[in-house]
């Protein structure tokens, strides 16, 4: 790409704002396309995902698995007496993992000759940006193209703003040095459920409040119902169709008034309250209005190819809304870089985007739920296989859960796949590939799967869908 545009020369071909999964991927792909690239990051390298999201969460959830394995080790032939949960050590390990991954991101940027600049970035106009450090403008840079990848932040509730101690976001939840005696969690989405499972495993008395009739309300109803049964069995109290009306500090903790499903009110006392009700876009301070970039409720407005209303500016990841997933941001990065280089490619298809929740049993889904497929007008066939019937699941000692596959009845093409069970997040790869390639129930059923494996349940679910044919 020429660095001349309308008679103006630019310092860089592309400036990427944000070094999370989307920004990192965009910068590397653009550099590998032969462009001169600069990436600007105001926080730790790797963005929220690496430092305060995906990576530390999964490291802590791995600790939770170990906590539970220690409790259940007896039947496997290992006697563990007087095991002590050390949350501080688990957090310390998670931060080591974060540091390793963050350094890996920085190394890869350097290897691809991406210029890394630290500081807060804001637009002067559509091609020029200023970088502040400690509140002072330190330098101005220019670019022919710009990709906004600033991500998101935890959404606050009015009257229940974060104080970092008694009313907390997931960021504080990932750094607590001891498990609270009682924890109240608002929100039954992925973050709320994962934190509930972790702190329950660490010894906290956890209550989770969700406004909708089920947890993980955007997933297949069978998934939410099945996971709720498992979490309740583990000792987590889950209250659906309830809302926290108000919360205030009391006796060093939090006192919340919860509107219950029957219309009554229940006062709950806890050491802290985690608010996990969604993600807000991280656009504050970007001065998007100076570049003429359109926003809606804070999110950057884009078309399906990640283009904003300003021809040379793109946006990817959480900042543009939609599914808040790291791998979605990475997929959108590829689309944006194609646009930057003047090429076109197919936009990201949300029905081919896997979605995972890393609790135990874990959740992994892709494509249409049974209800969504019916509402979209498809004539469907559904197949299901229980892990209770799986030899490998029984050998592992993880019998909860199932594989559920939704097919179009006429063609047999896979519309959606939903897994609840041990190893679900690894099994979803096969189902995602099948969804992307338009594979049929018959093709999955005819594919030889190794025995004994958890993946046999995918084959058995496809066979179940075909049983009446």
Segment 72-95 mean pLDDT = 94
Question: For residue 81, what pLDDT band results from cuts at 50, 70 and 90?
Answer: confident
Binding-site sequence positions: 58, 187-194, 210, 278, 318, 324-327
Q: Is the pLDDT of residue 4 over 70?
A: no
Nearest residue to 450 (alpha-carbon basis) of 417, 427, 416: 427
pLDDT class of 345 with cuts at 50, 70, 90:
confident
Mean pLDDT computed over 36-52: 96
What domains can be seen in the chain, in order of their start residue?
4-153+280-348 (3.50.50.60), 167-277 (3.50.50.60), 352-466 (3.30.390.30)
Q: Does 7 score more than 90 pLDDT?
A: no
pLDDT in tens, 201-219: 999 999 999 999 999 999 9
Q: Residue 171's pLDDT band (boundaries 50, 70, 90)?
A: very high
Residue 173, exposed/middle/buried by CB under 10 A (0-12, 13-18, 19+)?
A: buried
Residue 402's φ and ψ, nearest 5 degrees, are: -165, 170
Task: Please tell me the predicted confidence (pLDDT) of residue 8.
Answer: 62
Q: How many angstroms separate the CA atoms of 169 and 48, rounded?
A: 13
Give which of 106, 141, 102, 103 is closest to 121, Cα–Cα: 141
Residue 276 pLDDT exceeds 70: yes
Q: Which of 127, 398, 449, 451 is catalytic?
A: 451
d(C-alpha 384, C-alpha 15), whole Å = 47
Question: Which of 351, 202, 183, 177 lies closest to 276 in space, CA to CA?
Answer: 183
Q: How many CB atoms lie within 10 A of CB 232?
A: 12
Q: Above 70 in pLDDT, residue 338?
A: yes
Kindly indicate the confidence band of residue 344, based on its pLDDT and cuts at 50, 70 and 90. confident
Active site residue 398: no
Indicate the annotated binding residues for NAD(+). Answer: 187-194, 210, 278
Here the tokens at position 315 are 């946006």
pLDDT reading at 331 higher than 60: yes
User: Which tokens hold the place of 7?
Assistant: 């008679």
Contact (CB, 8 A) for 357 and 58: no
State how far the alpha carbon of 119 is from the alpha carbons of 26, 278, 301, in Å: 19, 26, 24
Q: How many Å apart are CA 382 and CA 368, to the nearest integer?
A: 12
Is 0.85 surpassed by the pTM of this model?
yes
Please say if the pLDDT value at position 199 is more than 60: yes
Q: What is the mean pLDDT of the chain?
A: 96
> Residues 428-439: pLDDT tens digits?
999 999 999 999
Please tell me the distance from the alpha carbon of residue 100 to that of residue 446, in angstroms, as a whole number: 42
Q: What value does the mean pLDDT take over residues 48-75?
A: 95
| The CA-based dihedral angle spanning residues 408, 411, 417, 423, taken in that order and rounded to the nearest 10 degrees | 150
Spatial distance between the Cα atoms of 453 and 310, rounded to a whole number of angstroms? 51
Give every CB contact of residue 309 below 8 A, 6+ residues apart in sequence.
292, 293, 294, 301
Contact 141, 125 (CB under 8 A): no
Residue 101 has pLDDT above 80, yes or no: yes
Residue partners of 9: CB distance under 8 A and separation at least 6: 3
Rg, C-alpha atoms of the chain:
24
| Residues 115, 117: Cα–Cα separation, whole Å | 7
């Amino acid at each position: 790409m020429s660095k001349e545009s309308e008679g103006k020369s630019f310092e860089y071909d592309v400036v990427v704002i944000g070094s999370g999964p989307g920004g990192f991927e965009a910068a590397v792909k653009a550099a590998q396309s032969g462009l001169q690239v600069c990436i600007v990051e105001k926080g730790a390298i790797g963005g929220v995902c690496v430092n305060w999201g995906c990576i530390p969460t999964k490291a802590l959830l791995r600790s939770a698995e170990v906590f539970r394995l220690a409790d259940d080790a007896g039947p496997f032939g290992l006697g563990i007496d007087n095991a002590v949960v050390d949350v501080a050590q688990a957090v310390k390990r998670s931060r080591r993992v974060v540091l390793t991954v963050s350094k890996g991101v920085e190394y890869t940027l350097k290897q691809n000759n991406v210029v890394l600049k630290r500081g807060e970035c804001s637009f002067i106009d559509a091609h020029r940006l200023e970088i502040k450090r400690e509140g002072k403008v330190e330098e101005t840079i220019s670019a022919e193209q710009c990709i906004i990848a600033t991500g998101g932040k935890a959404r606050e509730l009015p009257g229940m703003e974060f104080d970092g101690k008694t009313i907390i976001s997931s960021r504080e939840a990932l750094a607590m040095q001891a498990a609270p005696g009682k924890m109240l969690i608002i929100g039954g989405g992925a973050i709320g459920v994962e934190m509930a499972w972790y702190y329950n495993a660490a010894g906290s008395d956890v209550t989770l409040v969700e406004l909708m009739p089920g947890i993980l309300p955007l997933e297949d109803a069978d998934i939410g119902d099945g996971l709720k049964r498992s979490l309740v069995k583990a000792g987590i109290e889950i209250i659906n169709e309830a809302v926290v009306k108000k919360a205030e500090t009391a006796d060093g903790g939090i006192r919340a008034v919860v509107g219950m499903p029957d219309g009554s009110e229940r006062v709950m006392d806890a050491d802290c309250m985690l608010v996990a009700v969604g993600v807000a876009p991280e656009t504050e301070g970007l001065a998007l209005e100076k570049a003429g970039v359109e926003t809606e409720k804070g999110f950057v407005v884009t078309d399906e190819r990640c283009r904003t209303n300003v021809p040379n500016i793109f946006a990817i990841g959480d900042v543009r809304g939609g599914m808040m997933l790291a791998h979605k941001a990475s997929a959108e990065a590829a689309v944006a870089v194609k646009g930057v280089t003047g090429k076109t490619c197919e936009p990201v298809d949300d029905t081919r985007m896997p979605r995972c929740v890393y609790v135990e049993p874990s959740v992994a889904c892709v494509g249409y739920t049974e209800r969504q497929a019916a509402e979209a007008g498809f004539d469907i066939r559904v197949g299901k296989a229980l892990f209770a019937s799986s030899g490998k699941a029984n050998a592992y000692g993880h019998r909860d859960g199932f594989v559920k596959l939704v097919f179009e009845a006429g063609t047999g093409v896979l519309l959606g796949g939903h897994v609840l069970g041990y190893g679900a997040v690894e099994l979803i790869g096969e189902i995602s590939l099948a969804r992307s390639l338009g594979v049929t129930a018959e093709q999955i059923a005819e594919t030889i799967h190794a025995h004994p494996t958890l993946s046999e349940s995918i084959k058995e679910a496809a066979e179940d869908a075909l049983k009446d044919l």
